[in-house]
Structure 1
Protein backbone atom coordinates (compact mmCIF):
# COMPACT_ATOMS: atom_id res chain seq x y z
CA UNK A 1 0.00 0.00 0.00
CA UNK A 2 1.28 3.46 -0.91
CA UNK A 3 0.70 6.38 1.44
CA UNK A 4 1.34 9.99 0.61
CA UNK A 5 1.68 12.76 3.14
CA UNK A 6 0.07 15.56 1.16
CA UNK A 7 1.86 18.87 1.54
CA UNK A 8 0.30 21.92 -0.08
CA UNK A 9 2.22 23.79 -2.76
CA UNK A 10 2.75 27.53 -2.59
CA UNK A 11 1.11 29.56 -5.36
CA UNK A 12 4.46 31.11 -6.39
CA UNK A 13 6.03 27.70 -6.89
CA UNK A 14 3.01 26.55 -8.86
CA UNK A 15 3.31 29.59 -11.15
CA UNK A 16 6.80 28.41 -12.11
CA UNK A 17 5.84 24.77 -12.80
CA UNK A 18 5.10 25.09 -16.56
CA UNK A 19 8.31 27.01 -17.15
CA UNK A 20 10.46 24.67 -15.06
CA UNK A 21 9.05 21.61 -16.81
CA UNK A 22 9.54 23.17 -20.24
CA UNK A 23 13.10 24.24 -19.39
CA UNK A 24 13.96 20.73 -18.21
CA UNK A 25 12.60 19.13 -21.39
CA UNK A 26 14.31 21.68 -23.63
CA UNK A 27 17.55 21.08 -21.71
CA UNK A 28 17.31 17.38 -22.46
CA UNK A 29 16.60 18.11 -26.11
CA UNK A 30 19.55 20.51 -26.31
CA UNK A 31 21.95 18.10 -24.66
CA UNK A 32 20.81 15.30 -26.96
CA UNK A 33 21.41 17.56 -29.95
CA UNK A 34 24.88 18.47 -28.72
CA UNK A 35 25.84 14.88 -27.92
CA UNK A 36 24.72 13.52 -31.28
CA UNK A 37 25.71 16.63 -33.27
CA UNK A 38 22.33 16.30 -34.96
CA UNK A 39 21.23 19.91 -34.47
CA UNK A 40 22.55 23.16 -33.08
CA UNK A 41 19.25 24.87 -32.24
CA UNK A 42 16.17 23.75 -30.34
CA UNK A 43 12.74 25.14 -31.27
CA UNK A 44 10.43 26.30 -28.51
CA UNK A 45 7.78 23.70 -29.15
CA UNK A 46 4.09 24.25 -28.37
CA UNK A 47 3.96 20.55 -27.52
CA UNK A 48 6.52 21.02 -24.73
CA UNK A 49 4.64 24.07 -23.48
CA UNK A 50 1.39 22.11 -23.57
CA UNK A 51 2.97 19.33 -21.53
CA UNK A 52 4.20 21.90 -19.00
CA UNK A 53 0.68 23.34 -18.76
CA UNK A 54 -0.71 19.82 -18.30
CA UNK A 55 1.70 19.17 -15.42
CA UNK A 56 0.70 22.49 -13.84
CA UNK A 57 -2.99 21.63 -14.26
CA UNK A 58 -2.44 18.24 -12.65
CA UNK A 59 -0.65 19.77 -9.67
CA UNK A 60 -3.01 22.73 -9.24
CA UNK A 61 -5.22 20.78 -6.86
CA UNK A 62 -2.52 20.78 -4.19
CA UNK A 63 -1.97 24.56 -4.20
CA UNK A 64 -2.75 26.59 -1.06
CA UNK A 65 -5.03 29.16 -2.65
CA UNK A 66 -5.81 32.16 -0.47
CA UNK A 67 -9.30 32.69 -1.91
CA UNK A 68 -11.77 30.26 -3.44
CA UNK A 69 -12.15 32.31 -6.62
CA UNK A 70 -8.44 31.83 -7.32
CA UNK A 71 -8.93 28.07 -7.51
CA UNK A 72 -11.36 28.47 -10.40
CA UNK A 73 -10.66 31.71 -12.18
CA UNK A 74 -6.99 32.46 -11.70
CA UNK A 75 -5.55 29.00 -12.28
CA UNK A 76 -7.38 28.33 -15.55
CA UNK A 77 -6.79 31.83 -16.92
CA UNK A 78 -3.09 31.57 -16.06
CA UNK A 79 -2.75 28.15 -17.70
CA UNK A 80 -4.58 29.36 -20.83
CA UNK A 81 -2.30 32.40 -21.05
CA UNK A 82 0.85 30.29 -20.68
CA UNK A 83 -0.39 27.92 -23.38
CA UNK A 84 -1.23 30.83 -25.70
CA UNK A 85 2.23 32.34 -25.24
CA UNK A 86 3.77 28.91 -25.88
CA UNK A 87 1.90 28.63 -29.18
CA UNK A 88 2.88 32.17 -30.19
CA UNK A 89 6.61 31.60 -29.59
CA UNK A 90 6.52 28.10 -31.05
CA UNK A 91 8.78 28.87 -34.00
CA UNK A 92 11.57 30.58 -32.05
CA UNK A 93 14.84 28.66 -32.16
CA UNK A 94 17.28 28.75 -29.25
CA UNK A 95 20.90 27.53 -29.43
CA UNK A 96 21.25 23.99 -28.07
CA UNK A 97 24.08 25.07 -25.79
CA UNK A 98 21.86 27.67 -24.11
CA UNK A 99 19.02 25.19 -23.56
CA UNK A 100 21.49 22.69 -22.14
CA UNK A 101 23.11 25.18 -19.79
CA UNK A 102 19.72 26.36 -18.51
CA UNK A 103 17.69 23.16 -18.71
CA UNK A 104 19.98 20.49 -17.28
CA UNK A 105 20.46 22.26 -13.90
CA UNK A 106 16.69 22.80 -13.74
CA UNK A 107 16.16 19.09 -14.43
CA UNK A 108 18.68 18.11 -11.75
CA UNK A 109 16.99 20.46 -9.29
CA UNK A 110 13.57 18.96 -10.03
CA UNK A 111 14.88 15.41 -9.64
CA UNK A 112 16.58 16.36 -6.36
CA UNK A 113 13.39 17.98 -5.09
CA UNK A 114 11.38 14.86 -5.98
CA UNK A 115 13.86 12.64 -4.17
CA UNK A 116 13.87 14.85 -1.07
CA UNK A 117 10.06 15.06 -1.09
CA UNK A 118 9.76 11.29 -1.51
CA UNK A 119 12.15 10.72 1.39
CA UNK A 120 10.20 13.14 3.61
CA UNK A 121 6.93 11.45 2.69
CA UNK A 122 8.35 8.04 3.46
CA UNK A 123 9.53 9.15 6.91
CA UNK A 124 6.32 10.97 7.88
CA UNK A 125 3.80 8.52 6.47
CA UNK A 126 2.70 5.61 8.59
CA UNK A 127 2.84 3.01 5.82
CA UNK A 128 3.66 -0.66 5.85
Structure 2
Protein backbone atom coordinates (compact mmCIF):
# COMPACT_ATOMS: atom_id res chain seq x y z
CA UNK A 1 0.00 0.00 0.00
CA UNK A 2 0.94 3.63 -0.34
CA UNK A 3 2.11 5.62 2.64
CA UNK A 4 1.10 9.16 3.38
CA UNK A 5 3.65 11.77 4.30
CA UNK A 6 4.26 12.41 7.96
CA UNK A 7 3.48 16.09 7.56
CA UNK A 8 0.46 17.20 5.55
CA UNK A 9 1.08 19.30 2.46
CA UNK A 10 0.02 22.93 2.42
CA UNK A 11 -2.65 23.95 -0.11
CA UNK A 12 -0.28 26.50 -1.69
CA UNK A 13 2.32 23.83 -2.39
CA UNK A 14 -0.36 21.51 -3.73
CA UNK A 15 -1.50 24.18 -6.19
CA UNK A 16 2.00 24.15 -7.68
CA UNK A 17 2.36 20.35 -7.95
CA UNK A 18 1.01 19.91 -11.52
CA UNK A 19 3.18 22.75 -12.81
CA UNK A 20 6.29 21.54 -11.00
CA UNK A 21 5.82 18.02 -12.31
CA UNK A 22 5.26 19.26 -15.86
CA UNK A 23 8.26 21.58 -15.70
CA UNK A 24 10.49 18.70 -14.55
CA UNK A 25 9.31 16.44 -17.38
CA UNK A 26 9.69 19.19 -19.98
CA UNK A 27 13.18 19.86 -18.62
CA UNK A 28 14.11 16.24 -19.18
CA UNK A 29 12.63 16.34 -22.68
CA UNK A 30 14.53 19.53 -23.50
CA UNK A 31 17.83 18.22 -22.20
CA UNK A 32 17.38 14.98 -24.15
CA UNK A 33 16.75 17.01 -27.29
CA UNK A 34 19.84 19.11 -26.70
CA UNK A 35 22.09 16.18 -25.91
CA UNK A 36 21.04 14.12 -28.91
CA UNK A 37 20.61 17.15 -31.20
CA UNK A 38 17.33 15.59 -32.30
CA UNK A 39 15.10 18.60 -31.82
CA UNK A 40 15.39 22.25 -30.88
CA UNK A 41 11.87 22.81 -29.56
CA UNK A 42 9.71 20.93 -27.09
CA UNK A 43 5.94 20.84 -27.69
CA UNK A 44 3.83 21.38 -24.60
CA UNK A 45 2.10 18.02 -24.50
CA UNK A 46 -1.38 17.52 -23.01
CA UNK A 47 -0.17 14.08 -21.93
CA UNK A 48 2.45 15.62 -19.64
CA UNK A 49 -0.12 18.08 -18.27
CA UNK A 50 -2.50 15.19 -17.66
CA UNK A 51 0.21 13.30 -15.80
CA UNK A 52 0.85 16.40 -13.66
CA UNK A 53 -2.86 16.58 -12.84
CA UNK A 54 -2.85 12.87 -11.97
CA UNK A 55 0.07 13.37 -9.58
CA UNK A 56 -1.74 16.31 -7.96
CA UNK A 57 -4.90 14.23 -7.62
CA UNK A 58 -2.92 11.37 -6.07
CA UNK A 59 -1.33 13.57 -3.40
CA UNK A 60 -4.45 15.65 -2.73
CA UNK A 61 -5.53 13.37 0.10
CA UNK A 62 -2.46 14.46 2.06
CA UNK A 63 -3.24 18.17 1.83
CA UNK A 64 -4.06 20.08 5.01
CA UNK A 65 -7.28 21.74 3.83
CA UNK A 66 -8.33 24.67 6.00
CA UNK A 67 -12.05 24.13 5.41
CA UNK A 68 -13.94 20.97 4.50
CA UNK A 69 -15.59 22.60 1.47
CA UNK A 70 -12.15 23.11 -0.09
CA UNK A 71 -11.67 19.37 -0.43
CA UNK A 72 -14.44 19.22 -3.04
CA UNK A 73 -15.01 22.75 -4.31
CA UNK A 74 -11.37 23.71 -4.75
CA UNK A 75 -9.64 20.44 -5.49
CA UNK A 76 -11.61 19.06 -8.44
CA UNK A 77 -12.40 22.30 -10.33
CA UNK A 78 -8.75 23.36 -10.01
CA UNK A 79 -7.51 20.06 -11.42
CA UNK A 80 -10.05 20.26 -14.27
CA UNK A 81 -8.95 23.82 -15.06
CA UNK A 82 -5.26 22.85 -15.10
CA UNK A 83 -6.05 19.91 -17.39
CA UNK A 84 -8.07 22.16 -19.72
CA UNK A 85 -5.21 24.67 -19.77
CA UNK A 86 -2.78 21.88 -20.67
CA UNK A 87 -4.97 20.80 -23.58
CA UNK A 88 -5.39 24.43 -24.69
CA UNK A 89 -1.63 25.10 -24.88
CA UNK A 90 -0.87 21.66 -26.34
CA UNK A 91 0.34 22.96 -29.70
CA UNK A 92 2.76 25.56 -28.33
CA UNK A 93 6.44 24.80 -28.84
CA UNK A 94 9.10 26.08 -26.43
CA UNK A 95 12.83 26.18 -27.20
CA UNK A 96 14.60 23.14 -25.78
CA UNK A 97 17.20 25.32 -24.08
CA UNK A 98 14.49 27.23 -22.20
CA UNK A 99 12.77 24.05 -21.00
CA UNK A 100 16.13 22.67 -19.88
CA UNK A 101 17.10 25.83 -18.00
CA UNK A 102 13.75 25.94 -16.19
CA UNK A 103 13.01 22.22 -15.85
CA UNK A 104 16.26 20.73 -14.61
CA UNK A 105 16.52 22.93 -11.48
CA UNK A 106 12.89 22.08 -10.73
CA UNK A 107 13.67 18.38 -11.13
CA UNK A 108 16.71 18.64 -8.86
CA UNK A 109 14.63 20.49 -6.26
CA UNK A 110 11.93 17.81 -6.34
CA UNK A 111 14.49 15.02 -5.98
CA UNK A 112 16.15 16.88 -3.10
CA UNK A 113 12.78 17.32 -1.37
CA UNK A 114 12.03 13.60 -1.77
CA UNK A 115 15.39 12.64 -0.29
CA UNK A 116 15.01 15.04 2.64
CA UNK A 117 11.45 13.83 3.29
CA UNK A 118 12.54 10.19 3.20
CA UNK A 119 15.40 10.84 5.62
CA UNK A 120 13.09 12.59 8.08
CA UNK A 121 10.36 9.96 8.00
CA UNK A 122 12.44 6.78 7.63
CA UNK A 123 12.61 5.73 11.30
CA UNK A 124 8.98 6.60 12.01
CA UNK A 125 7.60 4.98 8.89
CA UNK A 126 6.29 1.46 8.86
CA UNK A 127 5.43 1.39 5.15
CA UNK A 128 5.97 -1.51 2.79
Does the pair score TM above 0.5?
Answer: yes
In 2, the alpha carbon distance for the partners of 1:99 and 1:11 equals: 26
Consecutive aligned runs of 4 or more in structure 1 exceeding 6 Å deviation: none
Q: Tell me the SS of whatever aligns to 1:65.
A: coil
Does residue 102 of structure 1 match 2:102? yes
Partner of 1:27: 27
Q: Tell me the SS of whatever aligns to 2:122.
A: helix
Q: Tell me the SS of whatever aligns to 1:42.
A: strand
Contact 1:5 1:125 in 2 (8 A): no
| TM-superposed deviation, 1:73 | 1.3
| TM-superposed deviation, 1:31 | 0.1
Instruction: Could you tell me which runs of 5 or more consecutive residues in structure 1 were left unpaired when the two chains were aligned.
Output: none
Instruction: Could you tell me which runs of 5 or more consecutive residues in structure 2 were left unpaired when the two chains were aligned.
Output: none
Contact 1:5 1:124 in 2 (8 A): no
Q: Tell me the SS of whatever aligns to 2:74.
A: helix
Q: CA RMSD in A?
A: 1.6
| TM-superposed deviation, 1:6 | 2.3
Taking a change above 3 Å as real, the CA distance of residues 107 and 5 of structure 1, as seen in their structure-2 partners, is closer
Q: Tell me the SS of whatever aligns to 1:9.
A: coil
In 1, the alpha carbon distance for the partners of 2:60 and 2:27 equals: 24
Does residue 70 of structure 1 match 2:70? yes
Q: Tell me the SS of whatever aligns to 1:18.
A: helix
**Deviation digits for residues 80-104 of structure 1, max 9, x if unmatched?**
0000000000000000000000000
In 2, the alpha carbon distance for the partners of 1:88 and 1:5 equals: 33
In 2, the alpha carbon distance for the partners of 1:67 and 1:4 equals: 20
Contact 1:4 1:125 in 2 (8 A): no
TM-score (normalised: structure 1): 0.93
Aligned pairs, number: 126
